[in-house]
Amino acid sequence: MSKCVLIAVAFVLSAVNARADFDSLVRVVGSSRGLHRRWTPGISFVRFGVRMIHPAGVHDFQIAMFEGDGDVDFERVLHTTPAIPMVRTRDNRTGETAVIWARPLGGDLFEMLLLAHDPKDDTVVVRAVVDAEMLAREIADPKHASRIAGE
């Protein structure tokens, strides 16, 4: 009995910690001058459906979209989470920037956080909990690989 309680507490703490990273990232981007969060109607219904059905191995997601011509302070962004980003890229010509973090959550699940910023367009923050095995199968399937590479 105590083993089940310990596992449940660990799961809850990891879920709270995962959500805190997304929320703090959204808070930092939202506090950037010139950017304001755009309301996305119906996203909570879509999120509920994803949690119930798990399409293509996605178990949960969160999204925050910002509009405006502001600039994000990436030094503050990188300090919102203790994790080191897996990918950090910047186009010097256009100023477009993308930062991706990933970490395991247990079992085959892992969490990905993505921040994509275009100074002349929108900024998007996405969090997704994905089944690694399902993702690997989708990528390895030649039918899907050619479609992914072509996009």
Domain that holds residue 119: 2-150
The pTM (predicted TM-score) of the whole model is: 0.74
Q: Give the model's pLDDT for residue 18.
A: 43
Residue 33: C-alpha distances to residues 15, 72, 122, 135, 140 (Å) = 30, 8, 14, 36, 42
pLDDT less than 50: residues of the chain: 1-20
pLDDT attached to residue 135: 80
pLDDT at residue 9 in the model: 36
How many domains would you assign to the chain? 1
* Dist CA 127 CA 100 (whole Å): 10
